[in-house]
Amino acid sequence: MRLLPPALCSSPGRAWLGGVTPGLSVKAPMEMGSSSTEKFYRIPEGKGPHSVGCTDLMTENAVEGSFLRLYYPSCNATDNEEAPWIPDKEYYQGLSDFLNMYRVVGERLFQYYVGSVTCPAKSNAAFKPGEKYPLLVFSHGLGAFRTIYSAICIEMASQGFIVAAVEHRDESASATYYCKKRSISERQEESTSNMEKEWIYYRKLKTGEEERCLRHKQVQQRAQECIKALNLILKINSGEEVMNVLNSNFDWNSLKDSVDTSRIAVMGHSFGGATVIESLSKEIRFRCGIALDAWMLPVGDDIYQNSVQQPLLFINSEKFQWADNILKMKKLSSNDTNKKMITIKGSVHQSFPDFTFVSGGIIGRFFKLKGEIDPNEAIDISNHASLAFLQKHLSLKKDFDKWDSLVDGIGPNVIPGTNIDLSPAELE
């Protein structure tokens, strides 16, 4: 087994996707010392009343287009297969780059261990009509991509949200792509589609490059991509024809008049948490935001000057945060009762992405994919607090208010505010 490079193990100032390693498995042997019986690990299904479908949408034959995975309440789709979790081998290559592994090694290891993993949402299942659903735009973390927060997105969809999980093209994803038309000569040589994928991989910092400058530039692009995704879904909702350059048998016309356009929120993890803040400052149609273990370095200084008026919930892990980062959150939320912060006890930065669910206990803790808390309990706390917050600030007529206490940090394995000692930092 290959150990992580030291730079990836646990630097508090960096919002890593995390210790993604060859120890991941959807069908992994039980831990050492136990019998050889196989134990199965699986991304959790949604717990709400709706079945969940998902489909991918890409517009325009250019990098400027939108790319997202849509999770949505679906009709029961017994004939539809579950969606692949990581849909292309190039994502394994991108993860290998991000983790400083040789591509040929990383691709084989990822393919072997997680190549068969699916997410519990039916691919291209028929959309469930009959009501207007609130819309949630989701932003992934550094080194991640649109598919690996499926546990969160599926839960939200099962509870009656349409979720647009954006794949960012700012070179912060491990890998992403856009489709471009093949040349005439290429089309003649190959009897395949006239489209081909142009891949964009994670950009590492250059020698001597100042990270904050790069990340601030990226977070501004990310916010624009979130707003672009919002505009795209609302365009579809209005009945306007949208061309999906990806092959899909999903009926996008079924989404017409399905979005509650007065109830829209934005959510994200780590670098995606910073993207939430930037998006709120730029787009008033986002009525509130949820930042999961936010990495505050990319947030511009101007944002702290009362430019985020909407309610905002910070849900932090116990092990990732540090004083300077927390103080920036507090600076943003001071004297505003609609801005809340809670911390999930025993959790780590990787308690939010899906990798925590497809790794065994010893492997997961060694590579910091799991904390001391059970991953399912941690994600339930996060999801329940999010739903209660969304009900309050989107004025939803649901029963999510039964989890209101979590938003105040009251309950098992959750505390209000932070576990970080801020007194030395505040004196600086």
User: DSSP string covering 302-345, please?
Assistant: GGGTT---S-EEEEEETTT--HHHHHHHHHHHTT-TTEEEEEET
User: In the numeric block, which tokens belong to residue 402?
Assistant: 């039964």
Burial class (CB in 10 A: 0-12, 13-18, 19+), 119: buried
DSSP 24: B
Choose, from 56, 97, 170, 293, the residue flagged as catalytic. Answer: 293
To the nearest whole percent, how much of the chain has pLDDT over 70?
A: 85
Express each pLDDT in 276-285 by its tens digit: 999 999 999 9
- Listed residue (42, 77, 156, 58) closest to 386, CA to CA: 156
Q: Is 50 a catalytic residue?
A: no
**b/e for 341-353, b at 16 or more Cβ within 10 A?**
bbbbbbbbbbbbb
Residue 33 pLDDT greater than 80, yes or no: no
Q: Is 324 a catalytic residue?
A: no
Distance of CA 76 to the CA centre of its chain: 25
Q: If pLDDT is split at 50, 70 and 90, which confidence band does 41 have?
A: confident
Choose, from 158, 270, 351, 359, the residue flagged as catalytic. Answer: 270
Q: Where are the beta strands (DSSP E) in 12-116?
A: 27-29, 38-40, 51-58, 67-74, 82-84
Express each pLDDT in 65-86 by its tens digit: 999 999 999 998 788 999 999 9
Q: At CA 168, angle to CA 210 and CA 205, rounded to 5?
A: 20
Do the beta carbons of residue 420 and residue 327 sit within 8 Å?
Answer: no
Residue 278 phi, psi (nearest 5)? -65, -40
Express each pLDDT in 355-388 by its tens digit: 999 887 666 666 778 889 999 999 999 999 999 9
Residue with tokens 């999906």: 244
Q: If pLDDT is split at 50, 70 and 90, which confidence band does 427 have?
A: very low
Mean pLDDT over 182-204 rounds to 75
Q: Is 382 a catalytic residue?
A: no
From the DSSP assignment, how many helices (H) and strands (E) are in the chain? 12, 15
Return the pLDDT at 139: 98
Choose, from 140, 269, 349, 384, the residue flagged as catalytic. Answer: 349
